[in-house]
Chain A
Amino acid sequence: MSITLQINGKPHEVDLPGEVPLLWALRDGLGMTGTKFGCGVAACGACTVLVDGEAVRSCQLPIGEVTGAITTIEGLGQPGNLAPIQAAWVRHQVAQCGYCQSGQIMQAAALLAANPEPTDQDIDAAMQGNLCRCGTYPRIRAAIHEAAAMMKAG
């Protein structure tokens, strides 16, 4: 039995039962390893992807229940063609180990899509579910502000 998922603008077939979480369909079924496993209980945000533009913990979403279009970190931008938010991440040298950053960036992308000029309080509220054990939060905050400014300037 195979399920078709719309990922980064393209249909992808995965041959896995419908109860398998999207995280594992991406990673193990499709080899799209940019989305990370951190906790499996929606407590760390490392697995965050967008479904129809909303930030979703992919470790909690069975593929049989996915109805929308999925965007993963691979669909946001690539090394030679960075999305503005990724460029801000590079400019602020945010990542240390980098493992949580796919999820942080997807969460921030959802925030900026809904709120192009977030305050520090908005950033606190949107990002509180995304854990970073390296403690890169100050640089994440700075990068989100800069990405907002870049996107406003066009």
Chain B
Amino acid sequence: MASWKTITRRSFLVLGAAVAGGAAFGAWKIAEVPANPLVPGPDSVPLNPWVIINADGVTVIAPRAEMGQGISTTLAALVAEELDVDWQQVRVLHGPPAQAYFNAGFVDRMSNEPDFIVSQRPKSHNAILAAVPKILSLQMTGGSTGAIGGFVQMRLAGAGAREALKAAAAKRLGVAPDTLKTEGGKVIGEKTFTYAELAAEAADLVPGDVTLRDPSTWRYVGKAMPRLDMVAKSTGTEVFGIDTWLPGMKFATVRMNPRRGGAMKGFDPAPALAMPGVAQVIGLGSGIAVVADNTWTAMQAAEAVKIDWAEADYPADTEAMMTRIEAAFATRPDSRMRDDGDVEAELAKGPVSGAVIEAEYRVPFLAHAAMEPLNATAWLKEDGSLEVWCGCQAPIMTRDACAAALRIDAEKVTLHVPVMGGGFGGRTDPVPAVLAARVAAAMPGTPVKVTWSREEDLTQDYYRPAAIARLSGRIEGGKATALWGRTATPSVTRNALARLVGFAPPGPDRGSVEGGFDQPYGLPNYRYDGHVADLTVQLGFWRSVGNSMNAFFLESFIDEMAHAAGADPLAFRLDLMRDTHAPSAQLLENVREMSGWDGLKRPGYGRGVAFCYSFGTPVAEVLEVQQTDAGIRLTRAWIACDPGLAMDPGIVEAQMTGAMVYGLSAAVHGAITFADQQVVERNFPDYDALRMPTTPAFEVAILQNNGSFGHIGGVGEPGTPPAAPALANALYDLTGIRARELPLNRQFSFAG
């Protein structure tokens, strides 16, 4: 097992090159090269922050967290590609909190221009380097950036380790390194050495220039690799955070103020303490924790505690919140990130051999509802150090938040990041780790695992905000001539960053309008405005963030425009896209062909198409629905996506399918509502999702036309945004009823 218990100050040149991109890398330094956080263990030698050589293979340290998206497998494959190890020799671990594991992929998320424009431009190395200091502490998994950030970095880590091992062998043999070969975890020359034999010597050698291999020679990258976690996840042997097991540990749960952010006026622990097996009730300011000898008893006892809650600072119910959101339309737009042509003049022309249409759409708050409820385990040791186990997307921030909560130095906190039973953006906040740390501080010397009940997980989530959109469009002669979209919603980014880092970022809020302003539709007059609503409900990043709402608004409205124009909805989109972004238009052609889309109406069936370019990857989806005696069924789905480079097509297919299921689940069932300032939906019966009988059959096409200039798109989120509008458009095709509000089960009867 690799060891990373303390921090050494060795610096590694390979990182400096890692951010530069391109093909050949010189050994040069940026101002501050992060230290290697790994230290040698009894049978393991770290060659750099990402590669540990063990007696029987290699352990790859993944800088991104595994939430199910398969990133650990892809990152390991990138290392293995250059390191010349067999796949069976590869294991993967999550890295400790350290700057070395910053996410270079976030460079791609720092522009306010539409992705489809940025992706057609060569990357500027200077711009990337300038951005590095801003992201150096961003050891963050999110934004569908993992494989993008790792693409160069992980291959360089593998190549650098390989060259160091070759240099060690060359020294032993007294030959030049370039006379040696590597294969199957061995350096081969006139004698053959295993990597393990050479590792200790290689660790002291700094590799010179390395050249990354040509893609035509790849053995692992670009192939569907067997996931490194698959056997463990099929045998119950994977250790999720909730499975953390320590000798002598206690089990706890929390019950926090259901009026979010409100304080606790007082509590009476007596009914809980009277229950057998209950050890302690701990006040946490805005809630309580109960410690017991098993989790179930802790959860029963937490319900028994009598608590006097203070109020929250947001409106009482959903209706009042929607009124607050609607009021934002009367405020000056926060952003106008697209303003092509003169949309007002065009709309003012009115209907001339066509139409001017307007529509308003609404979407609700949504919870993440990952299968593994929130949890964290913490242990305050006698020497004052704290050890924490928490599946989280932002380890440095989480570690620092634990340290701050206990008023100890960050160096005294060791944070382990186990794999997560789903994330979807819902494990960004450090709250579980911080609350567990505070519980542990109340019982020094005893490890304690804190598990959220499903009810706490759902009602204490950080939600995808509700939103309202108003769109206007003009059609003339069967063509779209103008589109003006306006979205009103509270800002996730400002809400979350104010909470997480203490300040809201300046500038227009891209998240409110992404998926609306940035689509490759070549309308001559195209404007998109964001109106940021003043609402303090706890918000968080939900798979595809703003795209999840704006794609529903825009793609539903484009459909309405197509029908108003008397055009086929797929052909109507193609006409708008063909000259703007060819790889996107190609995807519409693909789903047309895959689904046999002919624009004809079949009795009892409906079809809808939708498109969204998000996180660097355009995705087109077609969904088919069927009216049955039991209700409407989602029968078949076709997805075409283009991430530029599909590093692992098996994982890309899984992510596209899963992301569409996630979006469809929300579209059919998902709504978080408030009454008396409290979330009404408490468990899966109130917040259901697609299940085996209600999930359509899928066909996925993965294209790689969007990779000019080295562009690579993300794959974890882009499948979600088109799901809801594809379904709403299919329902219109089936029933003639236009859905302008989610979830759809309020308006349509679906088969169970």
Contact surface of A with B, Cβ cutoff 8 Å: 16-17, 20-21, 23-25, 27-29, 31, 33-41, 43-44, 46, 72-74, 76-79, 82, 86, 89-90, 93-102, 105, 123-125, 127-141
Contact = CB atoms under 8 A, between A and B. Distances in A.
B231 A21 contact: no
Contacts of B697: 138
Contacts of A141: 692
Contacts of B752: 128
A38 B371 contact: yes
A29 B697 CA distance: 41
A133 B370 contact: yes
B420 A97 contact: yes
A141 B698 CA distance: 12
A24 B236 contact: no
Interface string B439-462: 000000000000101100000000
- Sort A-B residue pairs by CB-CB distance and give the 8 closest, nearest first: A34-B236, A135-B661, A97-B68, A99-B421, A98-B233, A73-B236, A124-B693, A96-B68
Contacts of A140: 692
12 contacts: A16-B293, A24-B296, A27-B295, A36-B242, A36-B421, A73-B236, A74-B235, A74-B236, A93-B650, A95-B230, A99-B372, A134-B661
A36 B295 CA distance: 13
B173 to A, nearest CB: 38
Contacts of B370: 97, 99, 133
A138 B695 contact: yes
A123 B296 contact: no
B369 A79 contact: no
Contacts of B419: 97-98
A79 B420 CA distance: 20
A39 B684 contact: yes
B232 interface: yes
Nearest to B233: A98
Interface centre among A95, A101, A129, A130 (most CB of B within 10 A): A95
A20 B242 contact: no
A130 B658 contact: no
Given A16-B294, A20-B296, A98-B68, A79 B660 contact: no
A23 to B, nearest CB: 8
Nearest to A15: B293
A37 B454 CA distance: 9
B662 to A, nearest CB: 6
Given A131-B684, A133-B662, A105 B695 contact: no
Nearest to B421: A99
Contacts of B68: 95-99, 134
Contacts of A43: 683-685
Nearest to B250: A28
Contact of A20 (B229, B297, B423): B297
A141 B68 CA distance: 19
Interface string B675-702: 0000000011100011111010110000
B233 A101 contact: yes
A34 B296 contact: no
Nearest to B249: A28
A86 B234 contact: yes
B552 interface: no
Contacts of B454: 38-41
B304 interface: no
Contacts of A94: 230, 234
A16 B295 CA distance: 12
Contact of A17 (B277, B421, B662): B277
Nearest to A123: B692
Contacts of B423: 97
B276 interface: yes
Contacts of B693: 124-125, 127-128
Interface string B730-752: 00000000000000000000001
B235 A37 contact: no
B116 interface: no
Interface in B183-221: none
B342 interface: no
Contacts of B487: none
Contact of A138 (B235, B276, B657, B683): B657
Most buried by A among B69, B296, B657: B296
A72 B692 contact: no
B296 A21 contact: yes
A82 B276 CA distance: 40
Given A17-B277, A20-B294, A74-B236, A93 B227 contact: yes
A135 B683 contact: no
Given A39-B683, A97-B372, A101-B234, A135 B227 contact: no
B243 interface: yes
A130 B660 CA distance: 18
B70 interface: yes
B424 interface: yes
A131 B371 contact: yes
Contacts of A28: 251, 293-296
Contact of B661 (A97, A101, A137): A137
B301 to A, nearest CB: 13
A73 B69 contact: no
A94 B692 CA distance: 14
B679 to A, nearest CB: 16
Best-buried of A93, A96, A97, A132 by chain B (most CB within 10 Å) = A97
Interface string B648-688: 00100011011111100100000000000000000111000
A29 B654 contact: no
B453 A40 contact: yes
B245 A33 contact: yes
Contacts of A90: 226, 230-231, 234
A25, A27, A36, A133 — which one has the most chain B CB atoms within 10 A of its CB?
A: A133
B159 interface: no
Contact of A35 (B227, B236, B421): B236
B231 A82 contact: yes
B69 A96 contact: yes
A41 B685 contact: yes
Contact of B227 (A36, A95, A125): A95
A130 B236 contact: no
B373 interface: yes
B40 interface: no
Contacts of B295: 24, 27-28, 37
Given A20-B294, A134-B68, A138-B695, 18 more contacts: A34-B235, A34-B237, A38-B684, A40-B683, A74-B236, A79-B235, A82-B231, A82-B234, A82-B235, A93-B654, A98-B234, A100-B421, A105-B234, A128-B691, A128-B752, A133-B665, A134-B371, A135-B695
Contacts of B451: 37
Contacts of A100: 371, 421
A133 to B, nearest CB: 5
Nearest to A88: B234
B299 interface: yes
A97 B422 contact: yes
A17 B230 CA distance: 36
A136 B69 CA distance: 12
Contacts of A33: 236, 239, 242-243, 245
A151 B426 CA distance: 40
Contacts of B690: 135, 137
Contacts of A93: 224, 226-227, 230, 650, 654
A109 B448 CA distance: 34
Contacts of A17: 276-277
A121 B57 CA distance: 45
A112 to B, nearest CB: 15
